[in-house]
Amino acid sequence: MFLQNAACWSVPGGARATPHLSTSLASALRSCDIAHAKAIQALGKFASCDVGDALVQIGLRHGGYLSGLKMYSPGSNGTVAKIFGPAYTVRMVPSADKTSPTPPCHFADAIPKGSVVFVSQPKGLISACWGGLMSTRAKKLGAAGVVIDGQFRDISEHQELNMGLFARGTSVLGSNTFTRSSELNVPVQYDNVEVDEKVTVTPGDYILGDQDGVVAIPVAHIEECVRLCQERYEIDQKTLEGLEAGEEMGSLIKKLRK
Amino acid sequence: MFLQNAACWSVPGGARATPHLSTSLASALRSCDIAHAKAIQALGKFASCDVGDALVQIGLRHGGYLSGLKMYSPGSNGTVAKIFGPAYTVRMVPSADKTSPTPPCHFADAIPKGSVVFVSQPKGLISACWGGLMSTRAKKLGAAGVVIDGQFRDISEHQELNMGLFARGTSVLGSNTFTRSSELNVPVQYDNVEVDEKVTVTPGDYILGDQDGVVAIPVAHIEECVRLCQERYEIDQKTLEGLEAGEEMGSLIKKLRK
Amino acid sequence: MFLQNAACWSVPGGARATPHLSTSLASALRSCDIAHAKAIQALGKFASCDVGDALVQIGLRHGGYLSGLKMYSPGSNGTVAKIFGPAYTVRMVPSADKTSPTPPCHFADAIPKGSVVFVSQPKGLISACWGGLMSTRAKKLGAAGVVIDGQFRDISEHQELNMGLFARGTSVLGSNTFTRSSELNVPVQYDNVEVDEKVTVTPGDYILGDQDGVVAIPVAHIEECVRLCQERYEIDQKTLEGLEAGEEMGSLIKKLRK
């Protein structure tokens, strides 16, 4: 279901379905597979700030940054918290919309293990489209986190579940009379309102969120993103050491960032 | 002063003032009285989310939800906090407004015991209209909480007083040169800006606020609201049990919500 | 570098450079110096609310209040936190702006000891212009705090450094491709958007920020501001005592505020 954009990740399934495949190609695919899995694992260790900068360098206008989302759970208790996983997207429509598709099942029952649930709510509403019962189900299915492009409710319940949850805001109102789910795992648009930019979140894009914010990482860029993050991380570590030793920011940047 | 809309609550006073009243009517009123008091007590045990949903079901467009208020005190320390009580309203006007009425006393001296102080501030200002000294007085008079449709100040003082306080925002500026109180216990309008809806908060409306938000419950709807909250609470509990046992959200909703 | 507006503070340097100065004038300047230093020390003990009110009384439209800044660090852990010091200003421009001046050194290397770094970022962006490495350098140089008229990033790093930091918002994106520093220690404009007021922050203005907000205090007003703060503080203390003893707010105001 995920990762349909990831050349070296989507093929192995095909490979397993094709026993005639030459041994050398199969092994090449397998090693590609492993490299990709390692890249994903490495990616999850970086901060949203590292990743955003790397994606800007790669050429994404705002580095996949989804501006305006706040971490509401597990809460601002000082501990470092992060969500990371491939996006499982849910497109909501107004309840009054009777023509848009209806999903084959409740959207909370189709959450893939390890995924970040990404719910896109129509704008201009003050109702929620996610709540405590949803997080209970998501936890049961092994979700890695939740991002609500809109409002959610039952703050304390998500915190009790220790579910990583980001949203634009809160509400007391359930979705019932206001919105309904329409399509699952389709590309959705996230609006960076301040800069009039629509970021497409494609199912399988990796979502990484921490205290500073949320970024969406297209699968095609994962390897390059990790390489740049690693490179910059080392520079930042050396800069930090230099600063702690009393060196000047200006000369450290000149020396290290080249 | 409160509850003038509550048929079975406002009459007993009249009853006591009318000794000619037949014994059976008096006793009917008394039992109505008790039922109403019980409903209020029950109402206070629900969450803002339960109440909002019930009022939507009853027919209020956004369920009495007052969007855009944040709980600033007693603070986000993880403990569950709630305010609940009948609204005592204060209408503020710009200080420059010399024609609007002047209240008979300082608005903080007229706070009824057990009430939620609801202050309506003119919009487009960056000053506060509530502060630490006000909460000190409100606490002394037994206020159940404070809602500021506008800005307040002295955050830490309200937290030290353990006064439940919701507001749109904060400021460092006192009201002095910016606003003054005008009318006490008159209906005020709360603007749900995002959906262009003005919610009237009438003195005596019950105000319930918790981490998720604030709702205003018209007295006439209390009994029905409690009935619906109770009904839904039981469904939600069964849904939760089902989810924790690994059942599907879709089938639980089909089975329980009918 | 600082305090060029403070008549009785800027002259002594000149005095020391002018040995011909009559002894009596020199000693007058010295005692003026001491009075000013005492006033600054006293000022730092008041809350942003005290100072804002005093500056309104002095005639500043909104009392030097910079609306819309939030304290992000050291964080809302319940402890009282405050920043106080003369402003060291940094004017940022869009990276694409090639004509605006370039600073003689990295802006983080020119932070004067005891100053509050005040960074003015162009509006309409979703990138940050301050991060953890900057706070590391600022701490090393003895900065008293940081105010970002814009976005910053690396929330947890500032909290770990225990650096007082206020900003309009957060971001995951570094400044690199979005903004660059242009001028250091020049007057910058802060926009109180809601009331369409531009407040000029001049280098050397004292910046005081706490949980309630941030105010900029022009050096010329420090003595008068302290006098008014002290006066009002005493009234507020007496009001508080009266309220705690059960007195009415109305009669206390009549009695004490005259």
Q: Could you tell me the two tokens for A90?
A: 């849910």
CA A203 to chain centroid, in Å, comes to 10
Write out residues 42-71 of C within 8 Å (CB-CB) of B: 47-49, 51-53, 56, 62-63, 65, 67
B178, B150 contact by CB (below 8 A): no
In this structure, the answer to whether residues B239 and B169 fall within a common structural domain is: no
Same domain, B111 and B197: yes
Cα–Cα distance measured from residue C86 to residue A233, given in angstroms and rounded to the nearest whole number: 34
Q: What's residue A28's pLDDT?
A: 74
Contact A43, A222 (CB under 8 A): yes
Which chain C residues are within 8 Å of B177, Cβ to Cβ? 56
pLDDT in tens, C175-230: 989 999 999 999 999 999 999 999 999 999 999 999 999 999 999 999 999 999 99
Q: Please indicate, yes or no, whether residues A184 and A237 belong to a single structural domain of this protein.
A: no
| pLDDT (0 to 100) of residue A26 | 77
- pLDDT band for position A17 (50/70/90)? very low
Say whether A249 and C176 touch across the interface (CB within 8 A): no
pLDDT at C113: 98
Distance of CA A138 to the CA centre of its chain: 15
- How far is B210 from B130, CA to CA, in rounded Å? 19
Q: How far is CA C125 from CA A64, A116, B248, C257, in A?
A: 15, 27, 43, 45
pLDDT recorded at residue C28: 74
Q: Average pLDDT over chain A, rounded to whole?
A: 90
Residue of A nearest to C137 (CA): A243
How far B232 CA sits from the closest chain A CA (Å)?
12
pLDDT per position as a tens digit, A57-101: 999 999 999 999 999 998 655 455 899 999 999 999 999 999 999
User: Do B225 and B209 have their domain in common?
Assistant: no
Q: Does residue C37 form part of some domain?
A: no
Q: Give this complex's ipTM.
A: 0.88
pLDDT for position B27: 78
CB contact under 8 A, A249 and C108: yes
Please, are residues A88 and A234 in contact by the beta-carbon 8 Å criterion? no
Q: Do B173 and C52 touch (CB under 8 A)?
A: yes
The shortest C-alpha distance from A132 to chain B (Å) reads 9
pLDDT tens for each residue of C115-170: 999 999 999 999 999 999 999 999 999 999 999 999 999 999 999 999 999 999 99
Rounded-to-integer distance, Cα C35 and Cα C209, Å: 23
Helix-helix angle A222-244:A48-58, to 10 degrees = 120
**In sequence order, what are the beta bridge partners of A190?**
A199
% pLDDT > 90, chain A: 82
pLDDT digits (tens, 9 = 90+) for C227-240: 999 999 999 999 99
Q: Quick check: C241 contacting B, CB < 8 Å? A: no
Reply yes or no on whether the pLDDT at A54 is more than 90. yes
Note whether B182 and B251 are same-domain residues: no
In the prediction, which pLDDT does C26 show? 77
Judge whether C52 lies within some domain.
yes
Which residues in A lie closer than 8 A to residue C173 (C-beta atoms)? 49, 52-53, 56, 62-63, 65
Is C26 domain-assigned? no
In chain C, which among 157-186 make CB contacts under 8 A with chain A? 159, 170-174, 176-177
The model carries a pTM of 0.89
Determine, for residues C78 and B153 on separate chains, whether the beta-carbon distance falls below 8 Å: no
Identify the chains in contact with A, defined as 3+ C-beta pairs within 8 A. Answer: B, C
Buried b (16+ CB within 10 A) or exposed e, B35-58: ebeebbebbbebbbbbbbbbbbbb
Average pLDDT, chain C: 90
Is residue B26 situated within a structural domain?
Answer: no
Mean per-residue pLDDT, C16-41: 74
DSSP code of residue C67: T
Asked if the model's pLDDT at residue A20 lies above 70, the reply is: no
Judge if B64 and B191 occupy the same domain: yes
The boundaries of the domain holding residue B187 are: 48-217
Residue C81 lies in a domain: yes
List chain B pLDDT tens, one digit each, 258 residues.
Answer: 333 333 333 333 333 334 455 677 777 778 778 989 999 999 999 999 999 999 999 999 999 999 999 999 986 554 558 999 999 999 999 999 999 999 999 999 999 999 999 999 999 999 999 999 999 999 999 999 999 999 999 999 999 999 999 999 999 999 989 999 999 999 999 999 999 999 999 999 999 999 999 999 999 999 999 999 999 999 999 999 999 999 999 999 999 986
Chain B residues touching C78 at Cβ < 8 A = 75, 77, 159
Q: Are B140 and C16 in contact (CB under 8 A)?
A: no
CATH number reported for the structural domain that contains residue A113 in this entry: 3.50.30.40
Q: Which residues of B touch A177 (CB under 8 A)?
A: 56
State whether residue B59 is helix, strand or coil.
coil
Test the A interface: residue of B55, B61, B67 with most A CBs within 10 Å: B67
Domain count, chain C: 2
State the pLDDT at residue C4: 33
Residue A5 lies in a domain: no
Contact indicator for C154, A212 with CB cutoff of 8 Å: yes
Question: Residue C117 has which token pair?
Answer: 């770094």
Mean pLDDT to the nearest integer, C73-99: 87
Torsion angle in degrees (nearest 10) through CA of A227, A228, A232, A233: -40
**Three-state DSSP class for A159?**
helix
pLDDT of residue C2 exceeding 60, the answer is no
User: What digits encode the pLDDT tens for the residues A208-241?
Assistant: 999 999 999 999 999 999 999 999 999 999 999 9
Q: Which of B82, A210, A92, A204 is nearest to C155 (CA)?
A: A210
- Give contacts of C67 with chain B, Cβ < 8 Å: 126, 171
Joined together, the tokens standing for residue A151 give 């409002």
The verdict on A105 and A206 lying in the same domain is: yes
Residue B11 lies in a domain: no
Same domain (yes/no): B147, B239: no
HEC readout, A121-141: CCCCCCCCCCCHHHHHHHHHC
Same domain, A67 and A185: yes
Query: Is residue B35 one of the residues assigned to a domain?
Result: no
Nearest Cα to Cα of residue C97 among C199, C198, C178, C16: C178
B67 with B88, same domain? Answer: yes
Best to test chain C binding among B133, B170, B173, B180 (most C CBs inside 10 Å): B173
Measure in Å the smallest separation between the Cα of C173 and chain B Cα atoms: 27
pLDDT at residue A10, rounded to an integer = 30
Please report the pLDDT score of residue B14 as a whole number: 36
Do B184 and B233 fall into the same domain? no
Beta bridge partners of B217: B206
Predicted local confidence at residue B30, as pLDDT: 80
Q: What CA–CA distance (Å, rounded) separates B56 from B62? A: 6
C75–A contact, CB cutoff 8 A: yes
Per-residue pLDDT tens over the stretch A163-217: 999 999 999 999 989 999 999 999 999 999 999 999 999 999 999 999 999 999 9
Pairwise CB contact (< 8 Å): B154 & C212: yes
Angstrom distance (rounded) from CA C245 to CA C237: 12
Residues B211 and B237 in one domain: no
Strand stretches in C67-219, DSSP E: 70-73, 82-94, 116-120, 145-152, 165-170, 179-184, 188-192, 197-201, 206-210, 213-217
